[in-house]
Amino acid sequence: MNGSFAALMIALGVWDMGVNYCPTSGCLTPRTTDAYDSYSIHQNSVNDVATGNEIYFRRKTGHANGPFENVWGVSISEHGEMWAGFGHVYDIDTPISALDIQLHAMTGLYEKGQGTDLGGPIEFRSGIEVAYTFENNWRLGAGWDHRSNLDIYSKNQGMESGFLRLSLPLR
């Protein structure tokens, strides 16, 4: 996988913005959304070889511009790899009201610790999550994400993560 989910998020978000936001309230007009704290467990791999586990905290802030909701997150692996970044999520509704698909694209800083050398400190994280929202607004999701530096450094092997995520509403 590469940055395909980031490109998909931008393409769908810009289309949604043009159809649903620009004609009414403004393309990137600030708006309030549901805020969540998310906790996830990830299995990381490089070149299809498992490299270890990580825990990840992400906050969906409750603020958005048009269809793009603001998020920030931090993760640490069992080998001391750390990533912290900010970016956006884009939610896609499905015919099943409690089920949604969420794309994310984030920019962050990476420290390899005793883990994988991804080429440099600036690493982009993008991915997809499919989640079910319960009546109490808790969300349980599973997904996949990719980290890489978009070839801004000479080394760019990337890292994949499969994850399970629990998201709890803040309000």
64-110, pLDDT tens digit by residue? Answer: 999 999 999 999 999 999 999 999 999 998 989 999 999 999 999 99
* φ, ψ (nearest 5 deg) of residue 149: -105, 15
Which residues form the domain of 36?
Answer: 4-169
Q: Is residue 133 a contact partner of residue 12, using CB atoms and an 8 Å limit?
A: no
pLDDT at 12 (0 to 100): 92
Name, in order, each residue with C-beta under 8 angstroms of 165's C-beta and a sequence gap of 6 or more: 38, 39, 40, 56, 58, 129, 131, 139, 140, 141, 142, 143
pLDDT at 1 (0 to 100): 57
| Counted domains in the chain | 1
Q: How far is CA 32 from CA 13, 20, 63, in A?
A: 17, 16, 5
* Intervals of the chain under pLDDT 50: none
pTM (predicted TM-score): 0.92
How far, in Å, CA of 153 to CA of 110, rounded?
Answer: 13
